[in-house]
């Protein structure tokens, strides 16, 4: 190990982490060339590809490495939260219709195609411009971009470094939800912990809100696969010794490292555009069902955050101002108050952080704290974290039974498949309230509000 490994957890979450190989993976990441200060893991840690999901690894530039496995296969999988001025009681009579229309307007399922057909030039613009492309095409409002991490566009993206196979997989998937743990969820704001901060974010008790959890679809998956394969040779050429071949990497400043960074940024921009088009589909769905029935149903964007990304950032580390490549795999950037990268109207609050639950459980809105910058390179957790594999969940849970249980609790469910629903059963995840309490108590994520689901669309 070149640096210590640090894990945020309580006793129960530590026991969960010890049930798979995630802590061994965390220790492995502490051996990467250029790794700085700590290899970190959040309380939602679980086993991933090479790196643990819930991990944060910063490498010192220019010679520290960048690793596709440290970003993950679903590049810029993230969460968007929108909220309306409507109260939950106003839309309850229409929730079943709303769930059905959302399901039809937001294509879900593995390999699903969307309604948009992009030619080569359009797709290259998506990869270069991200959510700005969606604004130009009428799928976004300018204020949406202001409340999106990086304003919906990662600089340095270059479509030339994305393979044709990746482009072919993504060409007709902009505006689609996909499968796995992706979802659209209509929520009730069930609790407010910080009234002033909630009011600044436009959140209040019993309000209707919507979350989108989705990423870069087949395009991002293929980008990761392409560069994991290519870097198997790269590590040999650069004489990088690794405890696990899934940690393949390249020096950030090398040709291979720069090629991957340009391709990863392009895939991240694809994901920003995808969530933005889905947001437009959701607004259209609300209008189709609620216009003339409910006042003030329009949805404003609270924030959009990214997981699964490697970013070039500057941090003060033990008295030194360093330029770093910060990998956040299944963790969230959570900069504290005053950061210049935050939008003007939220800069004094800190970055909003969105922690989704799992269909039947709560989700949380938090704010980044000053402690994040000192402890975690400005990072916090990203969700509940799995305790069961997808195969175990399918063995232990019948999707139809789960749907019945959720609907008996008043949660309207639409799913592409019952097996896909079973994979994401709430019991397959850790207790999200415990996860959030750990980061709140550690000073790396301040609780603002809790959301509870009333309708779910699953891939």
For residue 440, indicate whether it is catalytic.
Answer: no
Q: Distance between CA 94 and CA 104 in Å, rounded?
A: 16
In this prediction, residue 413 carries a pLDDT of: 95
CA of residue 83 relative to chain centroid, distance: 18
Query: Which residue is listed with tokens 């659209």?
Result: 184
Residue 113: Cβ within 10 Å count = 14
Q: What is the per-residue burial (b if ≥16 Cβ within 10 Å, else e) of 416-439? A: bebebbbbbbbebbbbbebbbbbb
Q: At what angle do helices 255-290 and 120-129 cross, to 10 degrees?
A: 100
In this prediction, residue 226 carries a pLDDT of: 98
In this prediction, residue 298 carries a pLDDT of: 97
189, 203 contact by CB (below 8 A) = yes
Q: Distance between CA 28 and CA 204 in Å, rounded?
A: 43
In this prediction, residue 134 carries a pLDDT of: 98
Map residue 135 onto helix, strand or coil. helix
Point out the catalytic residue in the list 46, 128, 382, 412.
382
For strands 412-415 and 446-458, give the pairing. Answer: parallel
Per-residue pLDDT of the chain (459 residues; tens, 9 = 90+): 999 999 999 999 999 999 999 999 999 999 999 999 999 999 999 999 999 999 999 999 998 999 999 999 999 999 999 999 999 999 999 999 999 999 999 988 777 788 888 999 999 999 999 999 999 999 999 999 999 999 999 999 999 999 999 999 999 999 999 888 899 999 999 999 999 999 999 999 999 999 999 999 999 999 999 999 999 999 999 999 999 999 999 999 999 999 999 999 999 999 999 999 999 999 999 999 999 999 999 999 999 999 999 999 999 998 999 999 999 999 999 999 999 999 999 999 999 999 998 888 999 999 999 989 999 999 999 999 999 988 899 899 999 999 999 999 999 999 988 888 898 888 899 999 999 999 999 999 999 999 999 999 987
Return the CA Rg of the chain: 21
Residue 191: Cβ within 10 Å count = 15
Q: Which long-range contacts (CB under 8 A, 24 or more apart) does 231-236 make?
A: 231/67, 231/68, 231/256, 231/260
């Amino acid at each position: 190990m070149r640096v210590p490994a640090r894990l945020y957890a309580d006793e129960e979450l530590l026991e969960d982490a010890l049930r798979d190989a995630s802590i061994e993976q965390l220790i492995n990441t502490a051996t990467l060339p250029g790794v700085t200060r700590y290899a970190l893991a959040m309380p939602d840690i679980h086993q991933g590809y090479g790196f643990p999901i819930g991990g944060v690894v910063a490498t010192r530039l220019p010679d520290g490495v960048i690793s596709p496995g440290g970003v993950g296969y679903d590049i810029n999988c993230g969460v968007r939260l929108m909220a309306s001025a409507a109260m939950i009681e106003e839309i309850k009579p229409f929730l079943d219709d709303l769930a059905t229309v959302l399901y039809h307007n937001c294509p879900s399922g593995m390999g699903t195609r969307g309604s948009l057909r992009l030619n080569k030039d359009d797709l290259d613009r998506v990869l270069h411009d991200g959510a700005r492309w969606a604004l130009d095409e009428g799928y976004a409002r300018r204020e949406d971009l202001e409340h999106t991490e990086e304003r919906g566009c990662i600089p340095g993206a270059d479509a030339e470094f994305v393979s044709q196979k990746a482009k072919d997989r993504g060409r007709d998937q902009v505006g689609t939800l996909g499968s796995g743990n992706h979802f659209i969820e209509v929520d009730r704001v069930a609790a407010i912990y910080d009234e002033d901060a909630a009011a600044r974010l436009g959140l209040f008790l019993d309000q209707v809100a919507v979350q989108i959890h989705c990423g870069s679809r087949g395009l991002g998956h293929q980008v990761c696969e392409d560069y994991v394969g290519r870097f198997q040779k790269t590590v040999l050429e650069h004489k990088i010794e690794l405890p696990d071949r899934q940690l393949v990497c390249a020096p950030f400043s090398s040709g291979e490292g720069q090629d991957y960074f340009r391709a990863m940024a392009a895939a991240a921009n694809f994901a920003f555009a995808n969530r933005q088009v889905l947001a437009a589909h959701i607004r259209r769905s609300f209008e189709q069902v609620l216009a003339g029935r409910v006042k003030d149903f329009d949805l404003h964007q609270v924030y959009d955050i990214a997981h699964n990304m490697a970013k070039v950032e500057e941090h003060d580390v033990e008295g030194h101002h360093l330029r770093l490549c910060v990998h956040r795999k299944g963790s969230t950037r959570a900069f504290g108050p005053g950061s210049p990268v935050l939008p003007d109207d939220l800069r004094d609050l800190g970055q909003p952080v969105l922690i989704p639950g799992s269909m039947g459980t709560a989700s949380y809105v938090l704010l980044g704290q000053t402690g994040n910058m000192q402890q975690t390179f400005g990072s916090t957790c990203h969700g509940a974290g799995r305790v069961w594999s997808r195969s175990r969940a399918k063995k232990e849970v019948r999707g139809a039974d789960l749907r019945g249980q959720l609907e008996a609790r008043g949660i309207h469910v639409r799913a592409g498949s019952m097996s896909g629903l079973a994979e994401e059963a709430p019991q397959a995840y850790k207790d999200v309230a415990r996860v959030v309490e750990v980061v709140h108590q550690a000073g790396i994520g301040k609780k603002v509000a809790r959301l509870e689901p009333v309708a779910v669309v699953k891939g």
